[in-house]
A and B are shown apart, each in its own frame.
Chain A
Amino acid sequence: MKKFLMSIAIIGGFLILCFFLVYIFFNPIGTYNSFVQAEENINGQWAEVETQYQRRADLIPNLVNTVKGYADFEQETLTGVVEARAKATSVQIDPTQLTPEKLAEFQQAQDQLSGALSRLLVTVENYPDLKANQNFLELQAQLEGTENRISVARKKFNESVMEYNKSIKTFPNNLLAGWYGFAAKGYFEAAAGAENAPKVEF
């Protein structure tokens, strides 16, 4: 009887050891693959963010041309937009280099363009003819839609970065991530505002 129990214990111990070894061997592979998948996911979302920003940049020449037709339109605002656009399109990020610093730089350039654009749209309020121009209205709707798409793309990008950062920073993945060279990636910062938050009502 005792011998029987002994052999059971030995076999059991051996099996546990086997499982443990298999686990140690396969777990890093699985973890590595999950890092790669999360990173690919981020790259996909990043491509979407870039596409939407590009779409906005592509709309601007049309907008500027439409507005230019109004002879007395303030030149300062227009050149502001054109310059900010040139600057924003010059800041490009390689998806493998999505570090917090790079992303902040990208965001700053794009935010400047957003600022210049909103100044333009405010100025337009002083030109009733322009405001009624069908061409301008369509462009404005497209621009608003693009801004919405940008914010959705940014939100989805941030979510996938959060997934990734969460997974590489928690134990024991952080050890493996350091080993394989997976670094934390940057987020888009939310725009300032919304301090006096009202309540949602269904």
Chain B
Amino acid sequence: MRYPLAKLLLAFFFLIGSHEAVFAQDFPPAPNPPRLVNDFSGTLSPEEMAKLEQKLVAYADSTSTRISIVLLGSVGPYDISDYAFQLGEQWGIGGKENDNGILILAAMKDRKVFIATGYGMEGVVPDALAKRMINDLILPNFKMEAYYEGLDQATDWIIKLASGEYKAEDMVSEGNHGGAIVMVLVFIILFVVLPLLKNKKDNDNHMGGRGGGVDLWTTLMLSSMLSGGGRSSGNFGDFSSGGGSFGGFGGGSFGGGGAGGSW
């Protein structure tokens, strides 16, 4: 134990490194552009996927509640429930404020399925109801390899249960567009116009050097103040992920609600 600190640091780096490696291998990255229906196992036909996607996107647009379906081969060493919560959390299914996401995860080779409810959906779809939905709608259909029908009926049922619970948030309001333009203008002035003016003045004295350091500092300070204080700061994420028609996954969180079964 001659270098306890160094060992500790090493241990931590190892821990962090191995953690990330596990995450990277075991969980597919969130689809880009975002899609609600993701079939990694090749079970559903393209038409079936499109139909489900259309229904769920329409529902997400009108209520902001995201119901996502993921089919994959096997969850390996994970409990299907554990895998579902972690996947839902990593993708951020559901809005950040309401946590109103639902993930229907099926591992085709394990013949296991799980419905994970985000924090905000636990009241709408309590565990006992989720269990009943699994037992009554999904498992009987999945046993007959009617995967699309099972998923279609289950999502219909969730939509009926959750109707009226959350309203669509106005994704990008008019005012924020204006805010973005103003921000861009301010940036142009700070980074381009001001340095030009300053340099012109600096060249009059004979200090050598261009005196750019001060400019950099002021711009950095001002820009950080601006971006910190602006109320539109939270919306930049939405802009970047806005490729999908439903506005992307919203950063929702999962606390362990839901139920599962195997067929």
Contact = CB atoms under 8 A, between A and B. Distances in A.
Contacts of B82: 148, 151
Contact of B74 (A145, A166, A174, A199): A199
Contacts of B73: 201-202
B246 interface: no
Interface string A165-185: 010011100100000000000
B74 A198 contact: yes
Interface residues of B, number: 35
Interface in A143-164: 144-145, 148-153, 162
Given A141-B128, A142-B128, A201-B109, A149 B256 contact: yes
A145 B259 contact: yes
Contacts of A144: 127, 131, 259
Contacts of B27: 200
A201 B131 CA distance: 25
A192 interface: no
A107 to B, nearest CB: 18
Contact of B8 (A137, A148, A152, A170): A170
B127 A152 contact: no
* Chain A, interface residues (CB within 8 Å), range: 20 to 34
Interface string B115-139: 0000000000011101110000000
Given A151-B82, A166-B12, A200 B26 contact: yes
A22 interface: no
B79 to A, nearest CB: 8
B76 interface: yes
B25 interface: yes
B74 A148 contact: no
A30 B189 CA distance: 33
B76 A197 contact: yes
B213 to A, nearest CB: 12
Nearest to A139: B128
B9 A170 contact: yes
A152 B5 CA distance: 31
Contacts, number: 80
Nearest to A145: B127
A152 B116 CA distance: 12
B239 to A, nearest CB: 29
A103 to B, nearest CB: 19
B131 A202 contact: no
Contacts of B256: 52, 145, 148-153
Contacts of A198: 74, 76-77
A157 to B, nearest CB: 12
B258 interface: yes
A52 B257 CA distance: 11
A153 B119 CA distance: 12
B76 A152 contact: no
22 contacts: A48-B255, A137-B128, A141-B127, A141-B131, A141-B132, A142-B127, A144-B131, A145-B126, A145-B256, A145-B258, A148-B256, A149-B255, A151-B256, A152-B85, A152-B255, A153-B256, A166-B12, A170-B9, A171-B5, A171-B9, A202-B28, A202-B40
Interface of A: 48, 52, 137-138, 141-142, 144-145, 148-153, 162, 166, 169-171, 174, 194, 197-202
